[in-house]
C-alpha cells in the first residue's frame, strides 16, 4: 500500500476541500424543506464515485430519498467489500447555539484536536466518515493497489430510519452480493486509544399525544376541574421509570442479555474518567440505572429518553391556558435480544393502560432498529483490528457502543453478511448537537486505515 | 332611564359596528410583535371617549402600554363611579384552530346564541365587555340622563399582569378618587340565569428551566448515563400533586380559607350539570381534588396547572437527542388568604429542593394576583343586583369565580375602593381559546344594565 499512502499524503488538501463542498449542502432528511439539497447531495456522491473510477454508478430511486450505488469488480475470484454510509444529516437546530453556521464549514483548533477540526453538521456523522471511503478508494485506484472488489451503497435516510433501504436490499440481493460490509459511522475511544465497535443498541421510537378537553381552556375558569394534558403527560412519563431508574413497562427487561461478571470486568478495562466526563458536560452528577457503571449504562443497558416535549403556550410572557393537547417524542435504546417491535408494542400497551379516563392517548410508532453484535473472531473484525494497529501503531480495543445503526441487523438478515464497524469519530465530536465537528487527524487516519483493511481482508480470505 | 334605553335600542347596529372595528386591531400585549397595534387600540378608545362626551381624555404613558383615562364630573356632591377595563387581548394561537381569523370578526348564530354572537379574539375578554361601558355612557350623555360622575381607566396590560397599573394608580390617587369601581370582565351562569361574581381566585405564575448537560447530546451515546432534563422536569411536575390531586408544596394550604358546610350547601344551589359539562368539553371524566365538587374545584380551591411545556426536538420526524434544557410555564390559582408572594416563594423553595444533583433549576416568577371577595351587603353589589333584576327580570345569584382579576385587590389596597364585578360573558365564550366569541344578547344586555347601576348606586348613596 506504499504508493497508496504516498498518494494520500500528497492529496490531503484536495480531500479536505472536497469534504468542505459536500458539507455545504444541507441534506437534512427529517425536514421536507431541504428536499432539493438532499437530492443534490446524492448527485454529488455519484459524481465523485465516477471520477474516482467506480463502474455502474447509479442514483437509485426509492419511495423516499435515493441510494447511490457504485462498484469496481477487478476479479470475480477475489473477495468483495460492500461499503455502506449515509449522505443525509440530522437537523441543525437549535441554530442559535452554533458558534458558526451549521452549513458553512470552518476549520478550528481545539484542545482535543490541536491540528484542527472541521465544524459543520454532518462533519463526522456521516459525511466525513463516509467520504473517507471514497478517498481511500480514489487513492487505491490512482496507485493501482486496489486488492479486491468493492461496492458502494450510500443512502440518504439513515437519520429518519432507513425505511426504504430495506426494500432496496431485498430487491437487489445479487447486485449487493459481497463477503463483508464495512461501515464508518461509529467512533474510537480517543485518538491515542483506537477501538472498534462490536455491539450496537437497538431503537424503539414513538410519538405520543395526550388529549384532554376539546379546546384550549382558561386556566382560571377550568383550572382544578379538568385533566390538564400537560400535567397528565408529565405524570405518565414520570411513571415510566422508578426510583432506581428502572423502566417500569411490564416485560421491558424480559429478553435483555445479561452480561457475565467476566464480560463486565473486561469492559471495565477501557479507560474512563467519570470526573472528566462530568466536566466535559458541565454536570455535577451522572444519572442512571442503579447497579451499573456509566459506561455500562451507555452500552449494555436499555434506556428510555424523552427526545422532545411540547404543549400549551410557549411564547413570550404568561398565558393562563389549559391546553387541549400535549405531545412527546420518546425513544428507547435496546440491547441484544430485545426487538423494536416487541418493545414498541409493550410501550404502547402500557402507555395506553396508564392513561386516566379524563384524557385520550394516541401512540404513534416511528422507526425502530435491532441491536447487533460483531464477533471479534470474524475475519472482518481481524482485518479491521490489524489495519488500525498498522495505522495507529496500537491494537484497538473492542467496545460496545450505545448508539444504534439499525441497518446492521437488517444486512445480516437480508444479505447474510456481518458488518464491521470501523469508525473514527470521538464522543466529543458533538454529533446530533450544535457545533458538530470532526478532527482532521481522524479524517486522514480513516482514509489511511481503510486500504489496509482491504489488504488484510483479502489475505485473510485466502 | 327611559330615553337612555330608547337611544340604546335605536343605535344597536352602530354599537356593533364600532365594536367590530375595535376587534380588528390585534392588541396582543404578550407579544412585542403587536406593539403598534396595542398603541393604536389605546388611541381608538381615547377617540371614542372624546366623541361620547368625556372630559380630560388622556392616553397616559407608562413604562409599558398606556392607560386611557377620561371623566365626566357633573356635580362634586354626587357619587363617582370608576370604570375599569382593558383593551389588550390574549395571544390568538393556536391559529390553526380558529374557524375564522382571530382578528377578522364575524357574526354567527350558535345553539347558545340564537340571535348571533361575534367571533374574534377579545370579543368577550375584554374589548366587548369594556366597550359596553363606553356605549352606556354615550347613551346616558346623549339623553341627558347621566345620574352621577364617572371616570374611565382602561389599561393595556391586563393579560400580562397589569405591572404598570399599580404605579399609575399610586401616582394618581386624587385623580382616580371615586366611590366604587365597576368592572365587566367576568360572566353570568347563563343568559336566563344572571349572576354576579363575588369572589375571585388569585394567581401565582412562574416559569421554570431545567438544565442538564451543557449541550444537546446524542441519545444513543449518552442515553442512560446523564439526566435527561425533559424526563426530570416531568418527574418534578408529577411530584407537585399526589394521588388525590392535592398539591404537595409544603405549606401550600396553610392559609386556605375553608368554607363552612352551610356556605358549600349554598354554593351547591347554583344550577350545574356534570353531564353537560363533560359533553361540552368532550371528556369522559372530570379530574380534580378529592373531596370537592367540580364547581368547588373551580372556585373555592387552589390549583396548579402547567400552562406550557417545551424542550428537545419538536419538529417533523424523529431526532434522537437528549436536550440540554427543558422549560415549563406553571400557574397556581389562589383562594382567599393565600398571597401570590407567599405561594411563589413556597413553590420556588420546593421546586429547587426537589431537583436532583444531576440538573440545575431556575425558577423565574412572572406576575401574580391576590384573591378577592366582594361583600353582598355593599351598596355597590346591591346596585348591580337591582340593575340586573331590572334588565333580566330575574334576581342574579352571587357566585365565586375561578378566574383572577389581580387588580381588584390592588384597587382596595391603594384606592380603598370595593370593586363590583358585573360581567355578562358565558363560560362557553371560549375566552383565551380559539374561536372566542361574545353573544349579541350579552353585549346589548350589558349596555342596557349599566345605566341602571348608575341610577341605583346614586340613589342608594343618598
Nearest CA in chain A to B32: A316
Nearest CA in chain A to B405: A220
Q: How far is A233 from chain B (nearest CA, A)?
A: 8
Domains B2-200+371-460 and B202-256+302-369 alike in fold: no
Place of cell 355578562: B424
Confidence at residue B247, expressed as pLDDT on a 0 to 100 scale: 98
From the list A161, A215, A404, the residue facing B433 with the nearest CB is: A215
Confidence at residue B239, expressed as pLDDT on a 0 to 100 scale: 98
Residue A29 contacts by C-beta under 8 Å, 6 or more apart in sequence?
Answer: A38, A64, A65, A88, A89, A156, A157, A158, A159, A160, B317
Strand pairing category for B321-322 and A149-155: unpaired
Confidence at residue B258, expressed as pLDDT on a 0 to 100 scale: 87
Query: What's the mean pLDDT in A316-338?
Result: 93
Query: What's the mean pLDDT in A371-397?
Result: 93
Q: Of the candidates A128, A108, A97, which has an alpha carbon nearest to the alpha carbon of residue A21?
A: A128
Place of cell 494520500: A8
Q: Please write the tens of the pLDDT for every residue from A177-211.
A: 999 999 999 999 999 999 999 888 999 999 999 99
What nine digits make up the cell of A152? Answer: 458502494
| Domain covering B202-256+302-369 assigned CATH 3.90.1330.10 in the classification | no
Confidence at residue A269, expressed as pLDDT on a 0 to 100 scale: 80
Nearest CA in chain B to A89: B319
B436 upstream amide cis, omega within 30 of 0: no
**Mutating which of B197, B240, B306 best tests the A interface, going by the most A Cβ atoms within 10 A?**
B306
Q: Of the candidates A370, A444, A389, A9, which has an alpha carbon nearest to the alpha carbon of residue A204?
A: A370
Confidence at residue A32, expressed as pLDDT on a 0 to 100 scale: 94
Burial of B246 (0-12, 13-18, 19+ CB in 10 A): middle
Yes or no: say if A421 and A200 are a contact pair by the CB < 8 Å rule: yes
CA pair distance B84, B133, nearest whole angstrom: 9
pLDDT tens, per residue, chain B with 462 residues:
999 999 999 999 999 999 999 999 999 999 999 999 999 999 999 999 999 999 999 999 999 999 999 999 999 999 999 999 999 999 998 899 999 999 999 999 999 999 999 999 999 999 999 999 999 999 999 999 999 999 999 999 999 989 899 999 999 999 999 999 999 999 999 999 999 998 889 999 999 999 999 999 999 889 999 999 999 999 999 999 999 999 999 999 999 988 888 888 877 878 899 999 999 999 999 999 999 999 999 999 999 999 999 999 999 888 889 999 999 999 999 998 899 999 999 999 999 999 999 999 999 999 788 888 888 889 999 999 999 999 999 999 888 887 777 788 889 889 999 999 999 999 899 998 999 999 999 999 999 999 999 999 999 999
Query: What's the mean pLDDT in A392-396?
Result: 95
The answer to whether the CB atoms of A219 and B305 lie below 8 A apart is: yes
The distance of Cα B117 from the centroid of its chain, to the nearest Å, equals 20
Q: Please write the tens of the pLDDT for every residue from A121-145.
A: 999 999 999 999 999 999 999 999 9
Place of cell 474512563: A272
The answer to whether the CB atoms of A234 and B282 lie below 8 A apart is: no
User: Which residues on chain A are in Cβ contact (under 8 Å) with B220?
Assistant: 201, 203, 333, 401-404
Is some CB atom of chain A closer than 8 A to the CB atom of B379? no
Confidence at residue B336, expressed as pLDDT on a 0 to 100 scale: 85
Nearest CA in chain B to A161: B318
Yes or no: say if B310 and A314 are a contact pair by the CB < 8 Å rule: yes
DSSP B62-124: -SSS-EEEEEE-S-TTS-EEEEEEE--B----SGGG-SS-TTS-EEE--SS-TT-EEESTTTT
User: Which residues on chain A are in Cβ contact (under 8 Å) with B201?
Assistant: 220
Is some CB atom of chain B closer than 8 A to the CB atom of A215? yes
From the list A159, A226, A305, the residue facing B322 with the nearest CB is: A305
CA pair distance B149, B180, nearest whole angstrom: 11
Residue B83 contacts by C-beta under 8 Å, 6 or more apart in sequence?
Answer: B133, B137, B150, B151, B152, B153, B154, B181, B182, B183
CA pair distance A235, A246, nearest whole angstrom: 16
Backbone angles phi, psi at A61, to 5 degrees: -65, 150
The CATH fold of domain A2-200+371-460: Aminopeptidase (3.40.630)
The distance of Cα B245 from the centroid of its chain, to the nearest Å, equals 25
Residue A336: pLDDT over 90: no
CA pair distance A252, A247, nearest whole angstrom: 7
The answer to whether the CB atoms of B32 and A316 lie below 8 A apart is: yes
Confidence at residue B319, expressed as pLDDT on a 0 to 100 scale: 87
Confidence at residue A5, expressed as pLDDT on a 0 to 100 scale: 97
Burial of A77 (0-12, 13-18, 19+ CB in 10 A): exposed
CA pair distance A234, A311, nearest whole angstrom: 11
Nearest CA in chain A to B360: A283
DSSP B221-267: HHTTTS--HHHHHHHHHHTTB-TT--B-STTTTTTPPPPPHHHHHHH
The distance of Cα A173 from the centroid of its chain, to the nearest Å, equals 24
- The single-letter DSSP state of residue A28 is B
Domain boundaries, chain B: 2-200+371-460, 202-256+302-369
Confidence at residue B267, expressed as pLDDT on a 0 to 100 scale: 77
- The single-letter DSSP state of residue A286 is -
Q: Which helix (H) or strand (E) holds B205?
A: strand B202-211
Confidence at residue A378, expressed as pLDDT on a 0 to 100 scale: 92
From the list B91, B234, B404, the residue facing A238 with the nearest CB is: B234
The answer to whether the CB atoms of B287 and A30 lie below 8 A apart is: no
Q: How far is B207 from chain A (nearest CA, A)?
A: 9
Burial of A58 (0-12, 13-18, 19+ CB in 10 A): middle
Confidence at residue A427, expressed as pLDDT on a 0 to 100 scale: 86
The answer to whether the CB atoms of B224 and A298 lie below 8 A apart is: yes
Q: If DSSP codes are grouped into helix, strand and coil, which group holds residue A72? A: strand
Confidence at residue B373, expressed as pLDDT on a 0 to 100 scale: 80
Confidence at residue B444, expressed as pLDDT on a 0 to 100 scale: 98
Yes or no: say if A121 and A103 are a contact pair by the CB < 8 Å rule: yes
Amino acid at each position: 500500500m506504499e504508493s497508496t499512502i504516498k498518494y494520500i499524503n500528497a492529496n490531503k488538501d484536495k480531500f479536505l476541500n472536497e469534504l468542505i463542498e459536500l458539507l455545504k449542502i444541507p441534506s437534512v432528511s427529517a425536514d421536507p424543506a431541504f428536499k432539493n439539497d438532499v437530492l443534490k447531495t446524492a448527485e454529488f456522491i455519484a459524481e465523485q464515485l465516477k471520477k474516482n473510477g467506480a463502474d455502474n454508478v447509479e442514483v437509485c430511486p426509492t419511495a423516499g430519498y435515493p441510494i447511490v450505488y457504485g462498484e469496481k469488480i477487478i476479479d470475480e475470484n477475489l473477495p468483495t467489500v460492500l461499503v455502506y454510509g449515509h449522505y443525509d444529516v440530522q437537523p441543525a437546530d437549535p441554530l442559535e447555539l452554533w458558534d458558526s453556521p451549521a452549513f458553512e464549514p470552518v476549520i478550528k483548533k481545539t484542545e482535543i484536536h490541536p491540528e484542527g477540526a472541521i465544524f459543520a453538521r454532518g462533519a463526522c456523522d456521516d459525511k466525513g466518515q463516509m467520504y473517507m471511503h471514497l478517498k481511500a478508494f480514489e487513492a487505491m485506484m490512482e496507485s493501482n493497489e486496489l486488492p479486491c472488489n468493492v461496492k458502494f451503497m450510500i443512502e440518504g435516510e439513515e437519520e429518519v430510519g432507513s425505511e426504504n433501504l430495506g426494500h432496496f436490499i431485498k430487491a437487489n440481493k445479487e447486485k449487493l452480493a459481497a463477503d463483508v460490509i464495512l461501515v464508518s459511522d461509529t467512533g474510537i475511544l480517543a485518538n491515542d486509544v483506537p477501538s472498534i465497535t462490536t455491539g450496537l443498541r437497538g431503537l424503539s421510537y414513538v410519538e405520543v399525544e395526550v388529549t384532554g378537553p376539546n379546546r384550549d381552556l382558561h386556566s382560571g375558569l377550568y383550572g382544578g376541574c379538568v385533566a390538564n394534558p400537560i400535567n397528565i403527560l408529565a405524570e405518565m412519563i414520570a411513571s415510566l421509570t422508578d426510583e432506581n431508574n428502572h423502566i417500569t413497562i411490564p416485560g421491558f427487561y424480559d429478553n435483555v442479555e445479561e452480561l457475565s461478571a467476566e464480560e463486565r470486568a473486561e469492559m471495565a478495562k477501557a479507560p474512563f474518567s467519570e470526573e472528566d466526563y462530568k466536566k466535559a458536560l458541565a454536570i455535577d452528577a451522572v444519572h442512571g440505572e442503579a447497579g451499573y457503571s456509566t459506561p455500562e449504562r451507555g452500552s449494555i443497558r436499555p434506556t428510555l429518553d424523552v427526545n422532545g416535549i411540547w404543549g400549551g403556550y410557549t411564547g413570550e410572557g404568561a398565558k393562563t391556558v389549559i391546553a387541549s393537547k400535549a405531545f412527546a417524542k420518546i425513544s428507547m435504546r435496546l440491547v441484544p435480544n430485545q426487538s423494536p417491535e416487541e418493545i414498541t408494542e409493550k410501550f404502547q400497551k402500557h402507555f395506553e393502560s396508564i392513561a386516566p379516563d379524563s384524557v385520550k392517548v394516541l401512540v404513534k410508532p416511528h422507526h425502530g432498529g435491532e441491536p447487533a453484535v460483531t464477533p471479534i473472531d470474524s475475519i472482518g473484525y481481524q482485518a479491521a483490528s490489524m489495519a488500525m494497529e498498522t495505522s495507529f501503531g496500537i491494537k484497538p480495543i473492542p467496545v460496545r457502543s450505545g448508539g444504534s445503526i439499525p441497518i446492521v441487523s437488517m444486512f445480516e438478515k437480508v444479505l447474510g453478511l456481518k458488518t464491521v464497524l470501523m469508525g473514527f469519530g470521538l464522543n466529543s465530536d458533538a454529533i446530533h448537537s450544535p457545533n458538530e465537528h470532526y478532527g482532521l487527524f481522524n479524517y486522514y487516519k480513516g482514509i489511511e486505515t481503510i486500504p489496509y483493511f482491504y489488504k488484510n481482508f483479502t489475505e485473510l480470505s485466502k
